[in-house]
Chains A and B, each alone.
Chain A
Amino acid sequence: MDADALMDRLLELEHDLGKYLLLPLSMLEPEADQAALREALSQALLCTRKSGSHAVPARQLWRDFEAEMAASDTTAARARELRPAVERALGWEAALGDQRALCREDIEADLGAVRAAIRSWLKEL
C-alpha cells in the first residue's frame, strides 16, 4: 500500500471510527437518561457506518481495516498500536446486554480515544 492509499484508508477510518463512533453520544442532551445513553451506544457500536438500509458495526469496520493493513509488516505493526484503543471502545459492546448503569463520561472518553489514536497516525504521514 503506497503512502497515498494509506492516507486515504486512514482518513476513511477516521471518518467511520473517529467521527461516527462518538457522534450518537455527542448528540445526546446533557440530561439524557440511561435508556437514551444505551440506545446511543448501541447505534455507535452496532450501526456505525450506514449505507442506505445497510449498517456496518464498528467491529467489522475495524476487522476490515486490520485485514488490509496486514498486507505489509510496517502497516500491520502500526495497526497493532491502534488496537488497544479500539478494543477498549469495542469492549462497551458487553454493556449493551446487561442492565448495569452506564457512565457517559467513561464511554465518551474511550470512544474519543479511538479518534485521537487514528489522528496521531495520520499526522505521521
Chain B
Amino acid sequence: MAELSRPRVLVIDDGELHARIVAERFGELELIRPGGKAQIGDGPSALSYLRRHAKRVDLVLLDVSFDLPEAQLLELPEARSLRRRKRFQGVAILREIRRRHPRLPVVLLTAREDLDWLDGEAEAPAQESMTYYVDGNDLPALRVRIQGALQAAALGAEEGEVLWGGDGALLDMRRRLSVLARGRMPLILEGETGTGKSFLAERFVHRLSGRAGPFVVVDLSTVPQELVPAHLFGATRGAYTGAVSDRKGVFEAAHGGTLFIDEIQSVPPEIQKQLLLVLQDGRLRPLGGTREVAVDVKVVAASSQDLEQAVAQGRFRADLYMRLSPATRTRIPPLRERPADLEFFARRFARRSGEDSDIAPLCRQILKAAGQNPSPNQSPALELHIGRPRAAGGDGVELWMPESAWSTLKQHPWPGNLRELSMLVHNLVAFTLVEAADALEAGAALEGPRLQIDAALVSRLLPATTARLPSQAPEAVSGAGRIGIEITPQGTLNEVSRAVERQYLGALFRSCEGDLSRMALQLLGDGGRARAVRLRINQLGVKLKDLRRP
C-alpha cells in the first residue's frame, strides 16, 4: 500500500457523487484525481489508467450503472440489450480489472443481490475475496466496506506465503476464515495432507484472532497413545513412569493463544471425553494433579479425514464433534479439485524457488552469462511460463514449460497437494538451472536468460515426487504418477510396512524398467547406490528374477 495512513482510492463512476463523498466525507482516504478529475467516467479510460498506474491505487470504488454512449461501453456479451449493458456496465469493468489486477480491492456500488437481476442474462462476477458489494445508498456501510477491503488487502500483502490461488472456492474460504478467526469458537479445518491446514491456522487464523498468546501445534498421530493425556493436559511429577517433574500440556502452553490440534481424529476415544470437558469448561486437571487450571485457548482442530463420517462410523464422539462447532467446519479442497489454481501455484512456487539460497546463485550465473548484471544482494527474479517462449524476455530468469509437460502436470492427481507441487517445481527449477550452468561451464553460449524445462524431466520427477509421499488417498488410485497398493490385514505393523514396501519397490522396478541405478536415484537421491537398493529388495525376500517376470 502506498501510504498506510491515507489509502488512495480511484472512483470509476459516470457521476460525481461518490467521488465527492470520498473527497468530502472520507477524510481518511485520498481521492485519486486522474488528469485533475475526481473520477474516471468509463471502463476503457479506467482500464487504461490502471494499466499505467495500478501501483498507485489502493482501492477502486466502482459504480455498476453507466449511462454512456455505446462507444464508451465495454462488451458485456450476455446483455441482450444496450440498456442492460449500461445498467450492468460495472460488471464488465470489474471483469476486466480482475483479469489484469486480481488482487486489487474493488468495492462495487451495488447490493450483491441486485446482481441477481442478471440471472439468465449475464454471469455475475465470481465471488472472490477482493471484491466487495455495498448498497450505494448506505454511507456507514460504504465506509465499513472500504475499511474492511483495505485491511484485508493489507493483510493479504503481509500474508506472504499464504497462497489462496485464484480459485473462487478458496478465496471465498479466505473471507469465511477471516470471520471465524476472530470469534471464540473452535474451528475445524479438513483437508488432505499438503493442503496447508497448519499453515493457514498459524499464518491466517492465529494472526487474525488478535490473541496475544502463542501458536502451539500438536500432531496427535505422532504421540504414543498412552502419552496423549499428558501431552494435552500436562502431568504432575510422578504421574507416570518417567514423569520426573511437573510438565505443562499443550493446552496450558497455548493459554491466551491458539492450539492447532492436527489429526484430531487420532484422539483415543477415552481422551475424547476429557477433551470435550476442557473445551466446554475452559478448565483442565493435569494428569496426577488435584488442582484445576483455567485455560483460554482458541482451538483449531484439523483432520485429513471427514470428521462427520468418523462420527457416523462411531470413531469420533458426536458430542465432541458438536463442541468443536461443525458450523465452522471448513474443508480445504485438494489441488486436483481446483485445476485452475495449478498454474497460479506453479508460478508462485517457481518465483519463491528463485529466493532459495541454492537456486539464487544459479540464477545469477545464468543472468551474467546472458549479459545482465544481477545484484549480489538481491534474489534474482525467476518466472515460470507455460507454452512457447516469447521473443522478448523480462529482467530475470525465465523458465518455459512446454505444453506437453504442462499437460502431464494437469493430469496428475496431486495426492500430496501443494506440498507435492512445491517440491516438484523446486526440483524442476533446480535441475533445469544446474543443467544450464553445466552447459555454460562446458562452453555453451546462452542467447538470453530463457531456459526450457525438459518435458522428460517432468515425467521423470513426477512419479518420484509422489513416491516419497506416504499414501494419503483413502483408496488406491492408479494413473499418472500414482501406484495402487493393496493392504490386507497383517499380524504386525512391521509386516504391513514390509508388504507395502514390497509392492512399491515392485512397481518402481517396473516403472524404471529394471534399472536399479534409476531406482537408487529416486529412492536415495544417488544413482550410484544401486547395490543398496538390491540389498533392500533381498531383505524384503523379493527375488529380482520374480520382479523381471512380465
The answer to whether A and B interact is: yes
**Which residues of A pack against B, CB within 8 Å?**
4-5, 7-9, 11-12, 15, 19, 22-24, 26-29, 49-51, 122
Contact of B87 among A11, A27, A29, A50 (CB under 8 A): A11
**Which residues of B pack against A, CB within 8 Å?**
15-17, 21, 25, 65, 67, 80-81, 83-84, 87, 117, 136-139
Contact of A26 among B15, B16, B138 (CB under 8 A): B138
Contact (Cβ within 8 A) A26 B67: no
Contact (Cβ within 8 A) B67 A22: no
Interface residues of B, dominant DSSP: loop
Contact (Cβ within 8 A) B65 A15: yes
Q: Give the CA-CA distance A22 to B139 in the complex, in Å.
A: 11
Closest to B17 in A: A23
Contact (Cβ within 8 A) A8 B15: no
Q: Give the CA-CA distance A11 to B91 in the complex, in Å.
A: 15
A7, A8, A9, A122: most-surrounded residue (chain B CB, <10 A): A8
Number of A-B residue pairs with CB-CB distance less than 8 Å in the complex they form: 39
If A11-B84, A12-B83 touch, does A23 touch B67 (CB 8 Å cutoff)? no
The interface residues of chain A lying within 8 Å CB-to-CB of B16 are: 50
Contact (Cβ within 8 A) B81 A22: no
Contact (Cβ within 8 A) A8 B17: no
Q: Give the CA-CA distance A50 to B136 in the complex, in Å.
A: 16
Min Cβ gap A61→B in Å is 12
Contact (Cβ within 8 A) B87 A4: no
If A23-B17, A27-B25, A51-B67 touch, does A9 touch B83 (CB 8 Å cutoff)? yes
Min Cβ gap B495→A in Å is 67
Closest to A10 in B: B117
Contact (Cβ within 8 A) A50 B15: yes
Contact (Cβ within 8 A) B83 A8: yes
Contact (Cβ within 8 A) B65 A26: no
Question: Known contacts A11-B87, A22-B137, A27-B17; can you find 19 more A-B pairs with CB under 8 A?
Answer: A4-B80, A4-B81, A5-B81, A8-B81, A8-B83, A11-B84, A12-B87, A15-B87, A19-B136, A23-B17, A23-B137, A24-B17, A26-B137, A27-B21, A28-B139, A29-B139, A49-B67, A50-B15, A122-B117
Chain A to chain B contacts (Cβ below 8 Å), 5 pairs = A8-B84, A11-B117, A12-B83, A22-B137, A27-B21
Min Cβ gap B134→A in Å is 11
A9, A22, A27, A122: most-surrounded residue (chain B CB, <10 A): A27
The interface residues of chain A lying within 8 Å CB-to-CB of B15 are: 50
If A5-B81, A9-B83 touch, does A29 touch B25 (CB 8 Å cutoff)? yes
The interface residues of chain B lying within 8 Å CB-to-CB of A7 are: 117
Contact (Cβ within 8 A) B117 A23: no
Q: Give the CA-CA distance A9 to B87 in the complex, in Å.
A: 10
The interface residues of chain B lying within 8 Å CB-to-CB of A23 are: 17, 136-137
The interface residues of chain A lying within 8 Å CB-to-CB of B21 are: 27
The interface residues of chain A lying within 8 Å CB-to-CB of B65 are: 15
Contact (Cβ within 8 A) B139 A27: yes
Q: Give the CA-CA distance A22 to B117 in the complex, in Å.
A: 20
The interface residues of chain B lying within 8 Å CB-to-CB of A11 are: 83-84, 87, 117
Q: Give the CA-CA distance A22 to B135 in the complex, in Å.
A: 11
Closest to A18 in B: B137
The interface residues of chain A lying within 8 Å CB-to-CB of B84 are: 8, 11
